[in-house]
Structure 1
């Protein structure tokens, strides 16, 4: 099992949790981004720098992800693509996406995008909180236990 991180938008507290679990459980994590990231020295932590451009990091994750890998992202189209390849998805806020739930998320995302394009003001996401971090850590622990059995 590998963990793939859509690292450009991943909050730093989440990256720190992932670094710790990679070292503690000897799990390979891969941060994919279009900008340079500082990472701790470890044989279990790597970064993959992709060129700048729309969805370049997402496309690279979809290309490299394998069955039963875990992807950390809040990008709904990316989540859909990797779920269809047999991977698991966890958002930085601790929500697990599944094939059953992702279709609803895609429809809602498209609806909200249409609303914004027509000039209707919509609320953005709430600020990232310590509760989000805690929920993420708990769900990550559950998924890692399940996937490393």
Structure 2
């Protein structure tokens, strides 16, 4: 079991890394070369850099992910592609994507895009808070412990 992070713009990347390391897990951060960093990370953390471009990180994540992994992303489309691979997918707000909820989320995204395309306005996301970060951290712990129980 590994944690894969859709690293482009993820406000919980460091929280996810710190939490997963407490459980001696391997972490893979997939991100655009635009986000290249010289920051040093522990050996259990690896970075996979992809070219610029729409969905390049998503395609790489789908190629890398395996059953039992945990994926962290705010991208509904990526979540919908990962769920059939028997992975757990978490949003940065600590919500777990499921086969039951992903259809509604994709539909919501589609209708919001239609409104914007026709000149309308939709609400953007609320600012990310310390409470959001803590809710995410607690959910990640819950998922790691739940998935570890399945492996036993």
**Are 1:32 and 2:30 matched, yes or no?**
yes
1:145 alignment counterpart: 145
Offset of 1:38 from its aligned partner?
Answer: 4.4
Structure 2 gap ranges (5+): none
CA distance in 1, matches of 2:44, 2:106: 33
What are the residue-to-residue correspondences of 1:1-149 with 2, within 5 Å? 1-11=1-11, 14-34=12-32, 35-149=35-149
- Partner of 2:85, secondary structure, is coil
**Once superposed, which parts of structure 1, at least 4 consecutive aligned residues long, lie more than 4 Å away?**
none
Deviation at 1:104, TM superposition (A): 0.5
TM-score, structure 1 as length reference: 0.94
Are the counterparts in 2 of residues 39 and 45 from structure 1 also a CA contact under 8 Å? Answer: no
TM-superposed deviation, 1:16: 2.0
Aligned length: 147
Residues 77-115 of structure 1: CA distance to partner in whole angstroms, max 9, x if unpaired?
A: 000000011111111111110011001101101010111
| Structure-2 separation of matches of 1:95 and 1:38 | 31
Structure-2 change in CA distance of 1:121 and 1:113 (3 Å): same
Instruction: Tell me how large the CA RMSD over aligned residues is.
Output: 1.1
Distance 2:136 2:143 in 1: 10
